[in-house]
Amino acid sequence: MQCTALTLSPLTPLLRPLNKNPNHRYGSLWNLSSLKPLVLLRSINGLSFQKASHLSSCSRFNARRINEPFLISDGRCDGFKVRATPVPGNVGDTNDSSGLATSMQLGTMFAIWYILNIYFNIFNKQVLKVYTFPATVTAFHFGCGTLMILIMWASNLYHRPKLTRSQLAVIIPLAIVHTLGNLLTNVSIGRVNVSFTHTIKAMEPFFTVLFSVLFLGEWPTFWIVFSLIPVVGGVALASFTEASFNWIGFCSAMASNVTNQSRNVLSKKFMVKNEETLDNINLFSIITIISFMLLVPAAILLEGVKFSPSYLQSAANQGLNIRELCIRSLLAGFCLHSYQQVSYMILQMVSPVTHSVGNCVKRVVVIIASVIFFQTPVSPINSLGTTLALTGVFLYSKAKQLKPKPKVAS
């Protein structure tokens, strides 16, 4: 939509003054000496004025509005010419376009996050099924991510950060919980079905609310707490009827909820600091490298050196040859680093709770994909528990959209 702008410009007089009485310099109709300078106005009845001019000091002007005569009588000033000029449309259109672009960017990032997570879970389960060393596998994943980061920095695809001691003091706790979260998730995936691990991890909103209160001081509303009831109940129902249930797999998945959600909330708290804040890519890159350095000695201490040909051959005897095992391990490491990097990018754009809700939607996609791919048997009660938990997550996301009424001071 366009509006008409009126531009004032001095002209050679085409009309003579109507009042030539020297005792009445400004005529009976207009007293221009009492007028204030014309000020810049945004919009009056759809007309936009672009220029300010002092009427009391102008020389002779002619007045026209497009092709219609417009006359102002004055002993010194005949008038001024008014020309129609197109002005860009509503500024709100630009804001709408910017909002649409941001929404499309977020939607694309969420889709990439989900697809990479599906492939990671498939490849990872195939590896852990025959190579039952979760600490070694997790360290290998971090090693793949570290290699990708070093290549990115060496080729100047992204700038290398300069760390300070204060930054490092904040990042090290994040790296510790990040390492534990990934390790515990792999322990659970190696012990139980992928679908069951992600059903347990649907309880992440519960821990998000808990840690948002503890670390960010954000208290939940009644409806948020109420929506968490079906989440907890659904996970419990699915756990009681899970064919592959064992306590190690269950407790590992539950502990990974604690570590992952504390990491997300702490990351958000770190990223909102002022001048010392790292950008999302470098923050996750540093966390990955530190996690690799922490887990390699821990994996050797816990499991020993398991990359020997004899261990690889024993894994090959259970269904995957050495070449397939290495390729799937590399693909799992690539998908893990890529989807977690995208996750950190999304986290910097949204709140921790929104990120957690998106993570739970990802669980739905991963559960369905894993059940189809691995042909996992699912009982009706197990399906009901999973559905109930995911419904609670949906209600939780709706409850987060309800803004509490402001308290009126008495």
Residue 94 in any domain: the answer is no
Number of domains in the chain: 1
Predicted pLDDT at 154: 93
Residue 54 in any domain: the answer is no
Predicted pLDDT at 62: 43
Residue 251 in any domain: the answer is yes
Residue 46 in any domain: the answer is no
- Report whether 315 contacts 128 (CB < 8 A): no
83, β-bridge pairs: 7
- Report whether 280 contacts 348 (CB < 8 A): yes
Question: How many separate helices (H) and strands (E) can be counted in the chain?
Answer: 12, 5
- 301 is written with which tokens? 């201490």
Using the 8-state DSSP alphabet, how is residue 25 labeled?
T
How many C-beta atoms surround the C-beta of residue 305 within 10 A? 9
Residue 394 in any domain: the answer is yes
Predicted pLDDT at 125: 94
How many C-beta atoms surround the C-beta of residue 386 within 10 A? 27
Pairing of strands 47-49, 64-65: unpaired
Query: Which positions of the chain have pLDDT values less than 50?
Result: 1-85, 87, 91, 274-275, 407-410
Residue 63 in any domain: the answer is no
Query: Against a cut of 0.85, is the pTM above it?
Result: no
Task: Indicate if the alpha-carbon torsion angle 48, 50, 52, 56 is positive or negative.
Answer: negative
Predicted pLDDT at 269: 64
Distance CA 361, CA 257 (A): 15
- Report whether 224 contacts 400 (CB < 8 A): yes
Quick: pLDDT tens for 313-344.
Answer: 777 777 778 888 899 999 999 999 998 888 87
CA 286 → CA 110, 236, 281, 348, distances in Å? 23, 37, 9, 16
- 352 is written with which tokens? 């921790």
- Report whether 267 contacts 174 (CB < 8 A): yes
Distance CA 266, CA 207 (A): 13
Domain residues for 339? 119-402
Predicted pLDDT at 288: 94
Quick: pLDDT tens for 148-197.
Answer: 999 999 998 888 888 888 888 888 988 998 899 999 999 999 999 998 88
Burial of 394 (0-12, 13-18, 19+ CB in 10 A): middle
